[in-house]
Structure 1
C-alpha cells in the first residue's frame, strides 16, 4: 500500500526520491485499462533508465587539435558520429559525449534518473516537498540544474530555476555553469531559457572555455546566435589561446564565421601555437572560408610558431581546392618553415601529386637549394616514383646533395637521391635517376656497395652500367684491395660481375708480408661484421686480402675466390698465408699451380686488350664490327675459345 502524505514527512530525502521515482515509473507503465485510468499514459514508452554502470562524461576531456609541430596519428577506431541535437531525454550520452567529457564510474542517483527521463511531475513533487537534494552537489559539484541542462530537459530546467532562481549561475567544481553545459550539448531551448533568467554568457570553465566557445566547438548556429544577442564576448580565448572563431573555422561553418565576424571577432588572434583562424581554415581544408576571411583582411601568409603557413598546412594535408584558393590569393609558395622546408617538400613527402604539380612552377629553385634538401631526395626516400618522375621532367637536379646538417641525420652520411633509391632497393627509381644523369659515385659510401652487400645482382648491374666505381673503398674500414670484393666474397656471381666491370683484382695479391710469416688471425666475427665497427674506433691498419679470405666464415669458398681472381691478373705471387690456405685441401692444388708462371698467352692478351680499351669502352664493343666470339672472349665468356 502506498504511503500517505503524512508518512512521507518521516522519510529521509533518499527514501523520498526512491518512492517518487518508483511511483512515477510505475504510473507510466500501467496497463491500458487499469483502475487508475489512462489519462497519464505517455504516447510512447520512455527510454530505458541509465544503468548503474553508465558513466557520466566530464566536459574537460575533448579532442583539441594536436600541437602544430607534432605528428598526429589518428585513432584506429572510426570517429563517433554526432548524436541528433534533440533537447529531450531521447538524446542520452553517446560515444561523442563520452569523448568530449572525461568518464568516471559513478552510479546514477534516483534524482539523475528522474531528470534523464524528463519526469517533470515527479520533479515538481520534490520541489513542493522542498527536497534538499535538489541543491546538493555531487562529486563533480553538479546540482540538479546542471543535470537538467546537460540532458536538455527544458521542463526540468524551468521547474528548478523557478524554485531556485539564484542557482542559475551556480558553478561546478570545474567552473561549469548550467548554461555552459547546455551550450556544449547544443540544447538550444535550455540555453534560451537560462539566458532569459539571468544566466551569464561569459562565465568560463577552468579551461577558460565560455558557452560561446563550446557552442562553436560543437557547432550550433542557433545557440551561438542566442549567446551573441545576449552579450557573449566574442573574443574571449580558452587556455590554449583559441577563440570561438578558431573553432568555427576548424569546422568550416561559413554562416557561423559570418555571425562571429559581424559580432567583432578578431581575425588576427593567435593561439599558443601562433595559429590564426585563417590558418585553421586552411589546415582543415575549408576552401569555402578562405575567400571570406581573405576579404576581411586575414593574413594569407600568417605563420605559426614553427614557421608553417596556411599554404604549407593545406599542402601537407592534401587539400587540393584549398591550395588552389590560396594560390589564387597569391600565397607565398617560398615561405619556409624554421626547418627550411617549403610547401613543395611537404606535398612530396605526403604523396600529394596534384598539389606538387601546382607548386613546381611557382617554387623558387634557389630557395629549394637553400633549404638543404631537394624534393627529389624526399621522393626517392619515400618511394614516390610518380612524383620523382614529375620532378625529373621539371628539371630538378638529380645530383643535388643534402646539406651537412641533413646528411648528419643518417649514420651512413648519405647525400644523394640515388643513394636513397638504392638503399630502398627501388630498381625503377634508381634507373630513372641514372637515365636522368645521376652520378653513382658522389656519396661517401658508394651505393654500389649496398647492392653488393645485399646481393642485388640487378641493382649492381644497373649501377655498373652507368659508371659506378667498382674499386671504391669504405672509409671507415680501409683495406688494401677494393671494398666491393670484400663484400662479394660470399657470392661468386657478384664477384665475377665486379671483376668483369673493372674491379681491380691485383691488389688482392699485394701482401705486405709476402713469403714471411703472417700474424695470427684473431677475428671472431664475420668480415662483413668487422667492417661495420664504429666510426669512432677505426682499425689501425688496412685489411689484407689474405687475412680476409682466410677467416673461418669464408673457409669453404676460399679456393674458388682465389681461382676467380687469378683469371683477372697476370704475373702474381701468392703470399705464405694464401699458400697455406690452398695447401690445406688437396682439391685446391690446381689453383696453386694456376698462379705459377708461365701464364697462358690467351689470358695475357685478354688482360692487355681490356687494359688498353678501358672498362667503360668495353661496354661499347658490341657496336663495333668485331667477331662475336672475340667480344665474348673479352667479356670472360668461359665457354668460348679462339681455337
Structure 2
C-alpha cells in the first residue's frame, strides 16, 4: 500500500494510489524531472485508461498537450500575423463579436449540462483544478480550471508596457475597437489598471473611443473613477472626455467619486464643470452620497458648485434626512448652515428627527431639537419620534423628546410610548416615561387594540404577557389598574404559570373571580389556567377565589350529557367544552383530557374552602376512577368538621385582609388562612 504524504497534492495521491508499489519505484526515476502540469496530465490519462499505459507514450502525450508559453515582447511578427488575420477574417471568423482566447484550449464539459458532480480544488503548488465525476462516483476527468488567455495588447496594458502598446496600436495597426470580451476595450483595460501612459498612447492612436462604454454601460471615465485612478481621470479630462455619461443605473462619474469618498477626484471633476444635481436611477444625487459618508470637504465643494440640498430621491428623502438617518453630525451641521429644511418629510411621513430617534443617534437628536425641529410630526403609522425612541429603548433620547412632545398629540395617536416600551421590554425607557408622568393606565385606541387577537389595551398587559416581572412591578407601583383589559393580565400570568406575577397582581387588586365574556364559566375563569399548578390554585383560593361555585351543577346526581372536547383557538393551552346556558360548569371543565388526571387533588383542595356541598355525578365518576381518591369522597360527606364550618364563618364575617389584626394566637390565624400547622400553637 502506498503511504501518502500529507503535503502531497490530492491529484498526486490519486495518481500514486492507482499504481502498485513496484510501479511507483520503477516510475520514480522516469518522472522525477516532470513538472506539475506533466505529472497531472499523466495522472489523468492513467485514471481514464483501462490498463497502465507505456511510460514513453505517457511522457510524449503529456508534453504534447502542454500549452505553449504566451508570446513575449520579441514575438512582434507573430502578433503582426494575428493582426493581419483580424483585418481579413475568414467567413468563420467574421461572425465573432469579440476576440477569442489565444491559443485555443480543449473544451471541458459544460458544468450545467454535465450529469454528475463538478468539484474544484487546488494542488500543493497552487494550481486550480476541476474534477468531473459521474453520479455513481466514478472519475471522468481532472483538468486545470480554464483560464482565458489575454490578447497581447490587453496583457501589455495590464503590466504597463507602454512601448509594446505603442507598437501594437500604432506600428502594427491593431484594431483598438475590437473588445476582448463584450464591451471591454483596450481603453477600459488601461483605466481599470491605472496605466495612464498606456491610456495616453491609446487615445493618441484612436481618439474616437474615449466615450465608449462597457457592456454594463460604464464609460472609461467611470471605470477610472471606480478604481480610484486619479491620473487616468486627469488624462481623460485633458483629452475631452464627456464627464457626464452615466451607467445604466444613471450613476455619473461625480456620483461614483462621491460614493468612493475621494475629495481629489471630486475636485477634478467639479473643476471640469460636471453637472452636480443629476439623479441616479433611485433619484439620489451626489449630495445624497456625501451626506451618508460625513465628508464635510466634499459636501462643501458640491454646495459651492451649485448642489441643491432640497432635492429628494424617489422615496422623498433629502440629503439632510440621509445625514440624520445615518448619524452624520458634521454634514448635518453644514446642511443646516446652508438652510436645509430640518422638518421636511419623506414619502412615509418620517422626518429627520423621526429617523434619528428610530436609529438611536443621540447627538443628532440633540442638534435637531436645538434647532427647533418639530417633535410632533407623525410618520405614516401615526407614531411620533417619542414613540419610536421608546420602542427602541433609547432612554436618553426619550428624555430629550419628552419636553418637546405634546401629550395631547400623543393621546391622538391612540397609543402611549409606555405601550411600546413595555412591548419591547425596554425597562429603562419605561422607567423614564413613568417618572415623566405618562399615564400608566392609558389604553390603546379601539383601532390599535383590534390589531391584537386578545384585544389587549394596557402597558401592564404587554409586560405580563412578556413575563417581565420588573416592568410589571414598576407599572403596578405607579398605579396601574390590573382590571382594565378584556382578557385580564391575571389570567395571562396564571396561564404562563408565573406565581410571582400572579402574587403582585393579586396584591394590587386584581379580580380573582373575573370571567371572560367570550368564554363564560360558572366559576372564576382564572381556575382554568391554574388547575395544573396546585400551589397557585391554592394561593388564589386563599386570597378570595370563590370555591362554592365549583360545586354548583345543574345536573346534580342525574346523568350528565357526554362531552366532546376540542382545542380552543382563542385561549391557547385550554380545552373547549360545550357551553351550557349560563356558561361552562366546573365539572365539565375538569373533565377535559388535559385536566381530568388532576381531578382528585383539585377537588381535595376545593373542599377546604367550602362547607356542606353535594358532589355531582360527574365529579363522583372522576373520584371513582382512581382508588386513591376514595378518601376525598369521605371528606365531602356530611357533616363537615366544626372547625371547617367555623373557619368559613369567621372569614365571611371578618374578611381575609383583616385576619392578621385579630387578637388571636398565631396557630389559629394560620388555620384561618388555610396554612399548615397546629391550631393549638
TM over 0.5: yes
- Residue 108 of structure 1 deviates from its aligned partner by 6.4
- Residue 316 of structure 1 deviates from its aligned partner by 1.5
Partner of 1:567: 608
1:206-605 pair list within 5 angstroms: 206-523=248-565, 531=574, 539=579, 542-605=583-646
Distance 1:14 1:307, change over 3 A: farther
**Contact 1:52/1:108 (<8 A) preserved:** no
**Contact 2:528/2:574 (<8 A) preserved:** no
Q: CA RMSD in A?
A: 3.0
Alpha-carbon distance in 1 for matches of 2:344, 2:182: 41
Partner of 1:60: none
Match of 2:238 among 186, 196, 208: 196
Distance 1:279 1:499, change over 3 A: same
Alpha-carbon distance in 2 for matches of 1:478, 1:130: 97
Q: Secondary structure at the match of 1:543?
A: coil
Distance 1:384 1:145, change over 3 A: same
**Contact 2:80/2:172 (<8 A) preserved:** no
Partner of 1:10: 81
Alpha-carbon distance in 2 for matches of 1:290, 1:494: 57
What do residues 86-134 of structure 1 show as CA deviations (whole Å, max 9, x unaligned)? xxxxxxxxxxxxxxxxxxx984634444333222232222113445453
Q: Secondary structure at the match of 2:81?
A: coil
Distance 1:169 1:262, change over 3 A: same
Distance 1:463 1:183, change over 3 A: same
Alpha-carbon distance in 2 for matches of 1:150, 1:595: 94
Higher relative contact order structure (alpha carbons within 8 Å, sequence separation ≥ 6): 1
Equivalenced residues, count: 557
Alpha-carbon distance in 1 for matches of 2:245, 2:593: 79
What do residues 381-400 of structure 1 show as CA deviations (whole Å, max 9, x unaligned)? 11111221111111111111
Alpha-carbon distance in 2 for matches of 1:108, 1:354: 61
**Contact 1:216/1:224 (<8 A) preserved:** yes
Alpha-carbon distance in 2 for matches of 1:624, 1:191: 96
- Residue 230 of structure 1 deviates from its aligned partner by 1.2
Q: Secondary structure at the match of 1:147?
A: helix
Match of 2:672 among 606, 615, 634: 634
Alpha-carbon distance in 1 for matches of 2:150, 2:578: 73
**Contact 2:358/2:389 (<8 A) preserved:** yes
- Residue 9 of structure 1 deviates from its aligned partner by 3.5
Alpha-carbon distance in 2 for matches of 1:526, 1:307: 41
- Residue 139 of structure 1 deviates from its aligned partner by 4.0
- Residue 302 of structure 1 deviates from its aligned partner by 0.6
Alpha-carbon distance in 1 for matches of 2:591, 2:390: 48
Alpha-carbon distance in 2 for matches of 1:182, 1:395: 60
Q: Which runs of 5+ in 2 are unaligned?
A: 1-70, 88-98, 104-125, 130-145
**Contact 2:393/2:428 (<8 A) preserved:** no
The reply on whether 1:175 has 2:212 as its aligned counterpart is no
Bigger-Rg structure (1/2): 2
- Residue 428 of structure 1 deviates from its aligned partner by 1.2
**Contact 2:392/2:426 (<8 A) preserved:** no
Alpha-carbon distance in 1 for matches of 2:294, 2:584: 66
- Residue 495 of structure 1 deviates from its aligned partner by 1.0
- Residue 613 of structure 1 deviates from its aligned partner by 3.6
Question: TM-score scaled to structure 1, two decimals?
Answer: 0.81
**Contact 2:386/2:401 (<8 A) preserved:** yes
- Residue 518 of structure 1 deviates from its aligned partner by 0.5
What do residues 426-461 of structure 1 show as CA deviations (whole Å, max 9, x unaligned)? 111111111111111111111111221222111211
Question: TM-score scaled to structure 2, two decimals?
Answer: 0.76
Q: Which runs of 5+ in 1 are unaligned?
A: 23-49, 54-104
- Residue 246 of structure 1 deviates from its aligned partner by 0.9
